[in-house]
Structure 1
């Protein structure tokens, strides 16, 4: 009797087999952090799944769905896109992190990318490899839904959701309120990080100008320069999206921001002001660190010139006895001073006087 074909197990894949056949798809629920339905700013009973949540909102014609995801894979994000009708490019950007902060609109859906930062406490600057940890939050907002996709371990939004749920009058304004709250939280984190880095930059300045050029460690300055540039890449590009959201750079066509959202635009302008403050501080730190690198390089160059002058001065002094030894080492027969009784002590005295005179000249010229 022919044997029955053996089922392919996850740990028993044959050669040439497609791993997708053996690996069952991970349900989208694994990536869901929280899903809530809000009507008139009040959270409704938790729906069984995202399809039911969206169907409830669209059937009743009121409220919106706030779906929170953490690091979804492509399959999970495709399921979400099928439910909410998202553009494929939005799905691609949401799955693959490391996006530049930006604001785009796809039909009536708003897509906002925010880079998050976190300051890492460290006891010693010389052993700290990373000072700023980055992550990403992507916000997809439509007329009746908000989807937040987080990448990174410090990008939690539970506090933002809890604060908004305590103020139903804000949530009543719709998805734009959620977009503003997330942007405000991210920009506030920028301000915290730049203020925590201020002490580090001040300490670096003291170290560079207080330490001697021989004990100067430029590597630490380069480390902070790299971290400040990482912070600048997160903060600076966000100015244009916030300007659009605040209405300062024209009208943004999106169902998430309706024309009557004047109050929301005022709040976005406040966030934009905070971002400008953070960006100014980041630029200031960048310029200060650049000046520190130049100052450190100048101190090292000055020390090298000082060392070269000392070496040249001692070489000039050593050339005097070397020249005398070369002259009297040629073994000529007719050198009358060789037969004089006091030739040796006179030669030593002459060499000492010339060398001492040269030392005095170089010392007064600050070469020695």
Structure 2
């Protein structure tokens, strides 16, 4: 079981049954954390009764696709964030809901794709901050969430730059493959934007003095660091969106240019073919032409066709139409 008990900033116990949480939480010197993964409505109802959680907050956990947010209730905070998970080339965010009381942190994960073990390792890497209680635990989780979003933003930025450079390479690329890659990149960037953009409000709310959660616990500078990372992620996302828009416009311009080149070639060849057709077709009429029925007339028309075709080809080639 993912449960932990800190007493006066020292980890004393972990892996205990969730039924013991209320007993440990009764002592103000204790800080308790426990994790739930895909809990049933009955389990959430029991936890809500033990900790005095608001029914609307419990209802939000059972509702899918909540927006990242912070809801402030009389006895606790309710926070929704999203972890990064990629299924192949598809971004599949994982909803994580948090209940934060004075000395208890409850994490509710949508599924196992959110690596709660990495969050625990971050807590263990900074034991000197454990004395700050539940704000320390909350900071470690938010820091992990924002860092994974930042890593994804860097990856998407690298893909967008590579795509932008490939547009002007000499080798011919598969148009459908490029179109699909562009679509996947735009879809994942949009998904990351939905996750990252509201995080400014989430972390900003926790930093406000009137909430006295981060600001009044000595963890203010650490939450400020998370907020700076959030701004970096949102800035990177907007930069990627702008880059993809430029790539799309460049791609359309390039396609238009290539279509124009193709039309010039087709028009040139049509003009070259039209002249011999006109000359030879004239002798198929019932009106006699000079040289009609004569050998010299045949050779005259043949030479005229050849000279005209070569002349037109030379002219179009000089104009770079062929």
- On whether the aligned pair clears a TM of 0.5, the verdict is yes
- Maintained 8 Å contact 2:122/2:140: no
| 2:166 is equivalent to residue 207 of structure 1 | yes
State the 1:108 CA deviation: 2.8
Q: Which residue of 2 aligns with 1:276?
A: 231
Name 2:300's counterpart in structure 1.
346
- Are 1:297 and 2:252 matched, yes or no? yes
Aligned partner of 2:32 in structure 1 is 65
Match of 1:308 among 241, 263, 268: 263
Correspondence for 2:65: 98
Change (3 A) 1:165 1:315: closer
Tell me which residue corresponds to 1:53: 21
Does 2:122 match 1:154?
no
Residue 162 (structure 1) shift: 4.5
Q: Is the 8 A contact 2:6 2:13 kept in 1?
A: no
Unaligned runs of 5+ in 2: none
Separation (CA, whole Å) in 2 of partners of 1:278 and 1:342: 82
- Does structure 2 retain, via aligned residues, the 8 Å contact 1:132–1:227? yes
Q: Is the 8 A contact 1:36 1:46 kept in 2?
A: yes
Q: Distance in 2 between matches of 1:300 and 1:329?
A: 43
Mapped partners of 2:194, 2:170: distance in 1: 31
- Of 206, 214, 226, which residue of structure 1 is paired with 2:187? 226
Tell me, in whole angstroms, the C-alpha distance in 2 between the residues paired with 1:336 and 1:260.
107
State the alpha-carbon separation in 2 of the partners of residues 176 and 62 from structure 1: 14
- CA offset at residue 184 of structure 1? 0.8
After superposition, what is the alpha-carbon deviation per residue over 1:185-209, rounded to whole angstroms, capped at 9, x for unaligned? 1111122222334443333233322
Deviations 1:5-24 (A, max 9, x none): xxxxxxxxxxxxxxxxxxxx
SS for the counterpart of 1:172 is helix
Q: Distance in 2 between matches of 1:360 and 1:186?
A: 65
1:69–1:148 Cα contact (<8 Å) kept: yes
Q: Does 1:260 align with 2:220?
A: no
In 2, Cα distance between the equivalents of 1:41 and 1:237? 31
Return the alpha-carbon distance in structure 2 between the equivalents of residues 187 and 173 of structure 1: 21
Give the secondary-structure state (helix, strand or coil) at the position aligned to 1:94. Answer: helix
Sort the Cα spacing of 1:282 and 1:259 in 2 relative to 1 into closer, same or farther, 3 A: closer
Does the aligned pair in 1 maintain the 2:207–2:214 contact within 8 Å?
A: no
Deviation at 1:292, TM superposition (A): 1.5
Deviation (angstroms), 1:311: 0.7
1:84 maps to 2:51: yes
Greater Cα shift, 305-314 or 284-293: 284-293
Residues 1:246 and 2:207 are matched in the alignment: yes
Higher helix share: 2
Cα RMSD for the two superposed structures:
2.5
What do the CA deviations read for 1:263-321 (whole angstroms, capped 9, x no partner)? 22221111010111122222222222222222222222211111111111111111111
Instruction: For 2:46 and 2:183, locate their aligned partners in 1 and report how far apart those are by CA, in whole Å.
Output: 44
Give the C-alpha shift of residue 211 in structure 1. Answer: 5.1
Say if 1:199 and 1:242 are closer, same or farther in 2 by CA, change over 3 A: same
| Counterparts in 2 of 1:211 and 1:218: CA distance versus 1, 3 Å | farther
Number of paired residues?
Answer: 320
Q: Is the 8 A contact 1:194 1:282 kept in 2?
A: yes
